[in-house]
């Protein structure tokens, strides 16, 4: 077989399944056969035309697979047939940014994000992995594809929100929005040792999962002003660290207003246009607050650490996978995910599975509250 099935960006609101040549690795590159992948909120922005990528690009940046072919120079460390994941961000490990510790900005602003952005991505039967030595991460035998499917992006990003916020043992933390990344930020706050973790969202099912993953208080924004309630819960001060996980003015503003003087706003959302910092929430610019941002840390060492946390059962993020589709059913999967129908958090996509036209929903998470 010299061609493969792939899902490509066909222009605004268009996804197409096409036959494409199977990539051939050059020295330092690898090709993996994708066994499981998924759809990210960023893919929704791309398909809606809100984030530009070139027409005909294979989308997707969350690969789980098996090494199919290795380019030169990799035999000593990797073998064909090995199960691996690759981070959504694939740093080279050698450029100015990488050597200054900003791996996600490899090569320039946002440059570490290549799959489904500047090079072909994971929604295909095979994927070419650049800088393979820095990026192929072997999966521990005891873990299934779905156990590790959140590692390439969602778990890495969510946890990085907690890490960039520099959460300390005993901190009070609020996480604004409990989508998949916000939920992983909530889990990350628990891993980092926060005492009070407040999850904020408008969807009861998501708040229920937030409690499962580490929130001890959840606030539904439909029930009242979350900032006033957060202030009440923290003796009028506000939280030590607020994490923004949606990318809208309203959540940014609430997160800033909920951050105590001297505290940190850790921002994970993807914003459009301008973001304003209101006078009160910003203490006129004199509140000693820190605002930090992060883009999903990648590289095999990051992936190894995330998988180690799952293997040792410090965390289980597999409940985020709520629906399953064959890659041929991408349109149905995309429709469901982009409209947040049926309590969906994340969908698993299987390139090898024949089209079914039906999803298998796991309903256990949707019954809460």
Cβ closest to Zn ion, residue 62 vs residue 125: 62
Instruction: Name 118's Cβ contacts closer than 8 Å, sequence gap at least 6.
Output: 53
* Smallest gap from residue 189 Cβ to Zn ion (A): 20
Residues of span 90-129 touching Zn ion by CB under 5 A: 91-92, 95, 98, 106
- Closer by beta carbon to Zn ion, 205 or else 298: 298
- Please, what is the minimum distance in Å from the beta carbon of residue 294 to Zn ion? 13
Which of 155, 153, 95, 123 minimizes the C-alpha distance to 37? Answer: 123
**Residue 134, token pair as written in the block:** 């820095």
* 211/173 Cα distance (integer angstroms): 14
Q: What share of the chain is helix, strand, coil (3-state, %, to 5)?
A: 30, 25, 45
Mark residues 188-207: x for contact with Zn ion by CB under 5 A, - for none.
Answer: --------------------
Annotate each residue in 27-66 with x if it binds Zn ion (CB under 5 A) or - if it does not, as one string.
-------------x-x------------------------
Instruction: Give whichever of 155 and 282 is closer to Zn ion, judged by the CB atom.
Output: 155
β-pairing, 217-220 with 172-176? unpaired
Number of residues that bind Zn ion (CB under 5 A): 8
* Residue closer to Zn ion, measured from CB, 92 or 196: 92
Is residue 85 near Zn ion by the rule CB under 5 A?
no
What's the closest the beta carbon of residue 109 comes to Zn ion, in angstroms?
Answer: 12
- CA triple 5-9-12, angle to 5 deg: 150
Q: Which is nearer to Zn ion, 257 or 303 (CB)?
A: 303
Residue from 147, 153, 201, 253 touching Zn ion (CB under 5 A): that is: 153
Q: Which stretch binds Zn ion (CB under 5 A): 65-73, 114-122, 151-159, 325-333?
A: 151-159
| Closest of 358, 40, 368 to residue 204, by C-alpha | 368
- Residue 34 has a CB neighbour count (10 Å cut-off) of 27
How many CA atoms, within 13 angstroms, populate the side-chain half-sphere of residue 190? 19
Which residues of this protein are in contact with Zn ion, per CB under 5 A?
A: 40, 42, 91-92, 95, 98, 106, 153
């Amino acid at each position: 077989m010299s061609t493969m099935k792939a899902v490509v960006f066909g222009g605004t609101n268009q996804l197409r399944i096409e036959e494409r040549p199977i990539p051939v690795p050059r020295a330092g590159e690898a090709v993996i056969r994708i066994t499981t992948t998924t759809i990210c909120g960023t893919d929704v922005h791309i398909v809606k035309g809100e984030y530009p990528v070139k027409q005909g690009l294979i989308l997707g940046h969350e690969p789980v697979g098996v090494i199919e072919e290795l380019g030169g120079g990799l035999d000593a460390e990797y073998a064909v047939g090995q199960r691996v994941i690759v981070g959504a961000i694939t740093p080279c490990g050698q450029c100015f940014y990488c050597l200054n510790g900003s791996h996600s900005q490899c090569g320039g602003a946002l440059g570490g994000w290549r799959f489904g952005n500047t090079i072909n991505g994971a929604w295909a039967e095979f994927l070419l992995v650049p800088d393979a030595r820095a990026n192929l991460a072997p999966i521990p035998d005891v873990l299934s594809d779905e156990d590790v499917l959140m590692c390439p992006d969602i778990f890495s990003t969510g946890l990085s929100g907690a890490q960039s916020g520099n959460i300390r043992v005993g901190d009070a933390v609020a996480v604004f929005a409990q989508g998949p990344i916000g939920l992983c930020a909530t889990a990350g706050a628990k891993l980092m040792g926060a005492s009070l973790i407040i999850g904020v969202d408008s969807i009861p099912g998501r708040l229920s999962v937030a409690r499962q993953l580490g929130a001890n208080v959840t606030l539904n924004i439909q029930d009242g002003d979350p900032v006033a309630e957060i202030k009440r819960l923290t003796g009028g001060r506000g939280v030590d660290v607020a994490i923004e996980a949606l990318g809208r003015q309203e959540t940014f503003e609430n997160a800033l207003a909920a951050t105590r003087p001297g505290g940190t706003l850790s921002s994970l959302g993807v914003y459009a246009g301008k973001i304003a910092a209101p006078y009160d929430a910003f203490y006129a610019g004199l509140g000693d607050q820190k605002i930090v941002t992060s883009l999903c840390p990648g590289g095999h060492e990051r992936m190894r650490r995330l998988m180690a946390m799952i293997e040792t059962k410090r965390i289980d993020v597999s409940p985020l996978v709520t629906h399953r589709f064959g890659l041929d059913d991408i349109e149905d999967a995309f429709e469901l995910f982009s409209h947040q129908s049926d309590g969906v958090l994340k969908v698993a996509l299987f390139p090898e599975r024949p089209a079914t036209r039906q999803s298998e929903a796991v309903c256990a998470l949707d019954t809460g509250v």
